Structure 1
Amino acid sequence: MSFNPQTFIQVALNNGVLKFGEFTLKSGRISPYFFNAGLLATGELLSVLADGYADTLAKHAGTDDLTIFGAAYKGIPFVASTAQSLYNNHQINAHWGYNRKEAKTHGEGGMLVGADLTGKSVWVIDDVMTAGTAMREVVGILDGVGAKVAGIIVALDRKEKGQGEKSAIQELGDELGVPVLALVSFDDIIEYVAKNGTDDEYQSMVQYRQEYGVE
């Protein structure tokens, strides 16, 4: 069964990962919804999310010698479960790894754990991209071992303007020259609200998109 954004939104709501209301973001914007990837803490949620990453990789990434990378910390369980989903559901035996927040000074040492990324083209998995700062740090880490980013997949694209008229995802994709894909977008959430939410929730979402959204 392929990943369905509407199904994931419903599961996320049922588990408190996605909430509607009034939330002040780090940017200072007042958002009518909030997505907390830190609460993706059940087997069901992780399985649904990993299957979504795996489906997207199977469609868009080369399956020969596929290497995937999770950005610490939230990306670590995501990349591990995605590797399992790729193998179980798509018969793709991907290599996977992740970074440490601080370099290990004993044992094998270094910033990276898992597959050897030297000279590899790597797909990076993450939860939500806001300004793209953390992802640029990951790109720098990969550059340091001679790896290059082949593409990026996030769970949610808020589709909000960054510094200019483009979103952080669009800006990063342009900067790196790679695809930056999302399992669920703001458009999927507003579609869900239109069908299942209240009129007030829908109007708040529409107003937010008019003020901060990008095409």
Structure 2
Amino acid sequence: MDNLRHQFIEFAVASGVLRFGEFVTKAGRTSPYFFNAGAFNDGATLGTLAHFYAQSLLDAGIEFDMLFGPAYKGITLASATAVALAGKGRNVPFAFNRKEAKDHGEGGSIVGAALKGKVVIIDDVISAGTSVRESVELIRAAGATPCAVLIALDRMERSGKDDALSAGSAVQEVSQAYGIPVISISNLDDLLSYLARADVSDSLAPFQQPIAAYRQRYGIR
């Protein structure tokens, strides 16, 4: 696990964003961990989160012209990442969408800069890929090109019922469907590496085995 990924997992755990126990996912599974980006809810943690997004995007080495944040969590993530990028010497425009189109004032469903050039979609995680699909459609309809998706955590998890699991993860399916890379700040393997460290607190160590078992059952090979 490289240093940035290591630091991000530590940050997410310390912030209470990455939690351990028993949580029911959208797919109805009982997961031993849960990632809630909405808990990055003050200025300091949001600023640090934006640093991780911005640095991961720059480290990926892809060409991009602007950022797009799908409503609702993506709005804050894209705007904060734009601020962090500017602090790193890369000032780029950003935009986001409304859930309902506005029929007065400037109208429409897009807020912020005009969608053009190569656009990075920024979100927290990819579950069913719905927000990515909607974002890709909006970007292409404006004549721009979606060039990547940037997320915080890749759960590396297959979808479907236990007796009919998908061949790939939600992240892999999105990448294949739209022909664009999905960049993640961290993933499930990084989390397991973190929990395996000797200096992890005694309160977290018991979760290593349940998460490893969950990965064995639902994770991509």
2:181 maps to 1:183: no
Corresponding position of 2:138: 141
Equivalences for 1:1-215 in 2 at 5 Å? Answer: 4-59=4-59, 60-62=61-63, 66-89=65-88, 91-118=89-116, 120-163=117-160, 164-195=166-197, 196=200, 198-215=204-221
User: Which amino acid in structure 2 is aligned with residue 140 of structure 1?
Assistant: E
What do the CA deviations read for 1:25-77 (whole angstroms, capped 9, x no partner)? 121111010011111112232122211221122232226xx211111111111
| Alignment root-mean-square deviation, CA | 1.7
Q: Structure 2 regions of 5+ residues with no counterpart? A: 161-165
User: Which amino acid in structure 2 is aligned with residue 68 of structure 1?
Assistant: L
TM-score normalised by the chain length of structure 1 = 0.91
- 1-side partners of 2:208 and 2:12: how far apart? 18
Shift of 1:102: 0.7
- 1-side partners of 2:96 and 2:63: how far apart? 20
Shift of 1:7: 2.1
Question: Relative contact order: is structure 1 or structure 2 higher (C-alpha 8 Å, sep ≥ 6)?
Answer: 2
Percent identity over the alignment is 42
TM-score normalised by the chain length of structure 2 = 0.89
Contact between 1:8 and 1:48, CA under 8 Å: does it hold in 2?
no
- 2-side partners of 1:98 and 1:3: how far apart? 31
Provide the aligned length of Structure 1 versus Structure 2.
210
User: Which amino acid in structure 2 is aligned with residue 158 of structure 1?
Assistant: R
Corresponding position of 2:163: none
